[in-house]
Structure 1
Amino acid sequence: MDRNLALEMVRITEAAAITSARLMGRGDRKAADQAAVDAMRRAFDSVPIRGTVVIGEGERDEAPMLYIGEKVGAGWTAIAGVELMPRVDIAVDPLEGTNLCATGQPDSIAVIALADDGKFLNAPDTYMNKLVVGPACRGAIDISRPPTWNLHAVAEAKRCRVEDLTVVILDRDRHTVLINEVRRAGARIRLISDGDVAPAVACTQPDSGVDLVMGIGGAPEGVLAAAAVRCMGGDMHGQLAFRSQDEQDRAYKMGIKDPDRVYKLEDLAQGHVMFAATGVTDGSLLRGVRFYGGGASTHSVVMRSKSGTVRFIEARHDFERKPASSGLRSSH
């Protein structure tokens, strides 16, 4: 994949972030999500790729969402130069943390990842048990072992005490046992209400204050997180956690033959990977969208696994010159 695609991905996440940020705190998660989806779709139209959504917001053609199997990018409609536009897998969450945006809480982001064709796990819309760490702990974790074992392994790899570690866990009833064990081990916990992609990315950054992400969240979000972790040289294990036989049957049709398989990082995201995210609300990794007269500012991160480069991008958007950036149609 051409490295210039990384900047194109940032333009897409910026558009989704700006549009959904206009609905921050309005209490309407569906409207905010829809705004992000519509902005992403428009932005994809000018990107020189033949993209297929393999991680999206549904497994069927549930328009208006970006669904699994949807074709995006200029390569599907172009008359000339199609052979020069790469075929890529796309993992996308136009608004990760819809509830966070709707209530104005931290760490809502617009996020997208690209991989070479066929290199993302085609994860079904189910749950995944996840364990995510940064580069210092690569090779030290094992999701098949108890949480306490992993906490001690991470502490040893980071040359610190377990008491110095901060673990991010979704605040859900299903995590009562996990939370109690982590507390008994002595580690600190940051409970979050929604959105585990941003914390997974944050734990790959040495100064983010996040050391691990543990627990069960969405499987699609797990693949998105894996893309970022691959770029940063961190580590991640995942294991699908089906909520019903129907989900397991659908996963089988998507190629998941072993429902108990432990997926390593390279199983989730292979080959050359790109990851981009733009903050919608302020968070541990990115600042949210700030509006001012006639424009807005955004804060984004973009990563490439091939080079290991991580860029944080601050941008100012002039709505007079580029009305589409405002999420509003031009009146001219």
Structure 2
Amino acid sequence: MDRNLALEVVRVTEAAALSSARLMGRGDEKACDQAAVDAMRKAFDAVRVRGTVVIGEGERDEAPMLFIGEQVGCGDGESPEVDIALDPLEGTTICATGRGNSISVIAIAERGKFLHAPDTYMEKIAVGPKARGAIDLRKSPTENLRRIADAMGRYVEDLTVCILDRPRHEKLIREVREAGARIKLIGDGDVAGAVATCFEETGVDVLMGVGGAPEGVLAAAAIRCVGGDFQGRLKPRNEGEIERALTMGVKDIEKIFMLEELAAGNVMFAATGITSGDFLKGVRYTGDGAVTHSVVMRSTTGTVRYIESHHRFDQKPNYGW
């Protein structure tokens, strides 16, 4: 894949962010999500790839656009064939309520390199480069925290653990507190929480807990680019979700997926902040346009680029904002 493709894709996340940010804090989750989807789908029409959505908004009958299996991009026979994992609005609730850490995100890989994750839950643990190789989902949260602290040259009490604020995490939260680590509870958006572990300025060292499996693939793609570590294990809620996972090619429901099994090969990742969070600023409107803050990463080189874009709405295509 051409390295410039990552810079093309960030224009797509910018479009989705600009569109959904217009509805920030207005309490309408469906409208926020639809605005992001519409803008992202339209923006993809200008990207010269032959892309297939493998992590998207759902099946065709559930999602009229950006559904799993949809073809996107305007590429011809010489354009690269790629698989695309995306979430036009990661953190729908927090955007609708005006809270922090909602982002628009896309990951791209060579064909067949992403796990085709079913729409179910996944138990996750994510860390940055300093703790790579120290995590093991087969071990308890307490043991993982000790291993992570040792790898980072810290005390467990120095670690900050990001956890989704959900009733299902009561036991996990209690154990982490008893181990002595600090906790940052988030209402939504565990892709941003996982990626934050790879950037020291965020103050987040570990992500633990159960969240969406598709979001796990997106997080793994980003973490691959910067040398962190991630493990995930599917947690289906019913027999229907188990059958769905088997249909999508998962052979062992209990399998612990390592980072390279979730996102392999040459991976590119782009995200644009919608509301300000741990590592990206949100959209700021200026009257004649807006300012966006994005990150672009590539696994091949480990390069991380932050892009601040100043948009003039009277001089650029209209993607729905």
* TM-score normalised by structure 1 residue count: 0.95
> What pairs with 1:75-224 in structure 2 (closer than 5 Å)?
75=75, 82-224=76-218
What's 1:5 paired with?
5
CA distance in 2, matches of 1:233, 1:289: 28
| Contact residue 162 and residue 204 of structure 2 kept, 8 A | yes
Correspondent of 2:278 among 284, 289, 292: 284
In the alignment, does 2:311 pair up with 1:322?
A: no
What's 1:46 paired with?
46
| Contact residue 17 and residue 110 of structure 1 kept, 8 A | yes
| Contact residue 59 and residue 124 of structure 1 kept, 8 A | no
1:18 Cα deviation after fit: 0.3
What's 1:307 paired with?
301
1:199 Cα deviation after fit: 1.1
User: For 1:214-253, what per-residue CA distance to the aligned partner results, in whole angstroms no more than 9, with x for missing partners?
Assistant: 0000000000000000000000000000000000001111
Note the aligned Cα RMSD (angstroms). Answer: 0.9
CA distance in 2, matches of 1:168, 1:86: 37
1:11 Cα deviation after fit: 0.2
1:293 Cα deviation after fit: 1.4
What's 1:79 paired with?
none
What's 1:262 paired with?
256
CA distance in 1, matches of 2:317, 2:256: 46
1:83 Cα deviation after fit: 2.3
Q: Which runs of 4+ in 1 moved over 2 A?
A: 59-65
Instruction: Give SS of 1:324's match.
Output: coil
What's 2:225 paired with?
231
| Contact residue 57 and residue 67 of structure 1 kept, 8 A | yes
CA distance in 2, matches of 1:46, 1:321: 16
Gaps of 5+ in 2: none
Instruction: Give SS of 2:318's match.
Output: helix
| Contact residue 201 and residue 225 of structure 1 kept, 8 A | yes
| Contact residue 23 and residue 102 of structure 1 kept, 8 A | yes
- The AA in structure 2 aligned to 1:40 is M
User: For 1:232-276, what per-residue CA distance to the aligned partner results, in whole angstroms no more than 9, with x for missing partners?
Assistant: 000000000000000000111111110000000000000000000
| Contact residue 197 and residue 224 of structure 1 kept, 8 A | yes
What's 2:16 paired with?
16
CA distance in 2, matches of 1:323, 1:12: 12
CA distance in 2, matches of 1:74, 1:322: 19
Instruction: Give SS of 2:257's match.
Output: strand
In the alignment, does 2:71 pair up with 1:71?
A: yes
1:175 Cα deviation after fit: 0.6
| Contact residue 58 and residue 65 of structure 1 kept, 8 A | no
CA distance in 2, matches of 1:116, 1:247: 27
User: For 1:184-223, what per-residue CA distance to the aligned partner results, in whole angstroms no more than 9, with x for missing partners?
Assistant: 0000001111110011111101221000000000000000
- The AA in structure 1 aligned to 2:296 is V
1:323 Cα deviation after fit: 4.6
- The AA in structure 2 aligned to 1:149 is E
| Contact residue 128 and residue 218 of structure 1 kept, 8 A | yes
What's 2:59 paired with?
59
| Contact residue 273 and residue 292 of structure 2 kept, 8 A | yes
